Amino acid sequence: MLFPDYRPRRLRQSVAFRRMIRETTLSTDDLILPLFAIDGKGVKNPIPSMSGHYQLSIDHLLKIAKKAHDLRIPAIMIFGIPKKKDSLATSAYAEDGIVQKAAKAVKDNVSDLAVITDVCLCQYTDHGHCGVLKGNIVDNDASLDLLAQTALSHVKAGADMVAPSDMMDGRVAEIRDLLDDNGFSDIPIMSYAAKYCSAYYGPFREAAESAPKFGDRKTYQMDPANALEAIREATMDVEEGADIIMVKPALPYLDIICRIRDEIDLPIAAYNVSGEYAMIKAADKMGWVDGQKVMMETLTAIKRAGAKMILTYFAIEAAMEIIEAG
């Protein structure tokens, strides 16, 4: 098709035409809202690098959960900030842990809202790494049982889905086996399968108080230069029993989302992470970009790349924009 026989502008000349041929449409059904739970009552600690987001005590978290539900957002993801940290991350799998209490409260009060819980140890260890240590090395196999126990404790508290983000080899199979053995074979696993060792996580680590006390996470999170490795990681997690495959971060890894979408026939999730959110908010505050338009363009791009679900701190704002647009 060549000009002048074909004129692409013919179908761009009106709002109606553009709507009719639009290939990717963002819906509230695509959105998952991450929330940070902390002990106490009446607590709403601002997160300086994430404008509009807070560490929330359960009473405040419930208000946001209800708002999300009212905006037709189908799910939230709960992260916990514990009262105490130790070398074995005991608060992660405690019956009265913060995530466990928050999950139960949400299901008791907003039962139709799906509760997904992040399964990791970094917020709960006194060293900030995602598994237990052997010397200064994260011990992969010794961490697996603790991760599985954490997932089980979340499900017993009411979580509808668990999402292991630790990047330990074999953790999906360990979690799947323990859930099945305890009568929870119907609980799905959203695996952070392609989680890169990214500089975009900075604001999250402030929010979750989870920065490592020494070293970095390069020995278990993926090298940003690698793509084929992401396919291997995703394939391994599928074989171990994952139900949803996640790519994190989203915007710098649209190619990975697309490649995994082509290779894997499970639903794909993408995490529009804290650094992506913070950059747009900062540029908007400075007047350099139109934050609302950049937000919607970014989320549309993530969906266009192949993500069926988008975890995003923009979920509330995006849902309001989608509903207003009709």
- Each residue of 121-131: pLDDT tens digit? 999 999 888 88
- Each residue of 40-82: pLDDT tens digit? 999 999 999 999 999 999 999 999 999 999 999 999 999 999 9
177: its two tokens? 């086996």
**Helix, strand, coil tally for the chain in percent (to 5):** 45, 20, 35
| Contact in structure between 87 and 132 (CB atoms under 8 Å) | yes
Q: What is the pLDDT of residue 209?
A: 73
User: What is the pLDDT confidence band of residue 323, given thresholds at 50, 70 and 90?
Assistant: very high
Q: What is the pLDDT of residue 204?
A: 81
> Quick check: is 248 catalytic?
yes
Asked whether the CA dihedral 78, 24, 235, 266 is positive or negative, the reply is: positive
Residue 45, classified by CB atoms within 10 Å of its CB into exposed (0-12), middle (13-18) or buried (19+), is middle
Number of residues assigned to the chain: 326
Return all residues near 308 (Cβ < 8 A) that are at least 6 apart: 30, 267, 268, 269
304: its two tokens? 């266009």
Query: Is the confidence at residue 234, as pLDDT, over 70?
Result: yes
Cα–Cα distance measured from residue 35 to residue 80, given in angstroms and rounded to the nearest whole number: 9
Report, as an integer, the average pLDDT of 93-104: 97
Report, as an integer, the average pLDDT of 179-188: 98
User: What is the pLDDT confidence band of residue 195, given thresholds at 50, 70 and 90?
Assistant: very high
Active-site annotation holder among 107, 195, 281, 303: 195
Q: What is the pLDDT of residue 301?
A: 98
When the pLDDT of each residue in the chain is averaged and rounded to a whole number, the result is 95
Query: Is the confidence at residue 213, as pLDDT, over 80?
Result: no
Q: Can you name the residues that pair with 261 across neighbouring β-strands? A: none
Residue type, 148: A
C-alpha distances (whole Å) from 257 to each of 27, 93, 170, 274, 313 are 18, 31, 22, 18, 19
Report, as an integer, the average pLDDT of 151-177: 97
Phi, psi of 170, rounded to the nearest 5 degrees: 85, 5
Q: What is the pLDDT of residue 214?
A: 77
User: What is the pLDDT confidence band of residue 157, given thresholds at 50, 70 and 90?
Assistant: very high
Query: Is the confidence at residue 208, as pLDDT, over 90?
Result: no
Active-site annotation holder among 101, 107, 248, 303: 248
Q: What is the pLDDT of residue 211?
A: 77
What topology is assigned to 24-325 in CATH?
TIM Barrel (3.20.20)
Phi, psi of 9, rounded to the nearest 5 degrees: -65, -20
Percent of the chain clearing pLDDT 70 (strictly above): 100
Cα–Cα distance measured from residue 49 to residue 211, given in angstroms and rounded to the nearest whole number: 15
DSSP 223: P
40: left (phi over 0), alpha (psi -120 to 50) or beta: left
Cα–Cα distance measured from residue 177 to residue 171, given in angstroms and rounded to the nearest whole number: 10
Ranking 13-22, 96-105, 202-211 by mean pLDDT, the lowest is 202-211
Asked whether the CA dihedral 174, 176, 177, 183 is positive or negative, the reply is: positive
Residue ranges in 22-71 assigned as alpha helix (H): 58-70
Radius of gyration for the alpha carbons in the chain, expressed in angstroms and rounded: 20
> Quick check: is 285 catalytic?
no
Q: What is the pLDDT of residue 326?
A: 79
Q: What is the pLDDT of residue 212?
A: 78
Query: Is the confidence at residue 6, as pLDDT, over 70?
Result: yes
Helix (H, G, I), strand (E, B) or coil at 139: coil
For the chain, give the longest Cα–Cα distance.
70
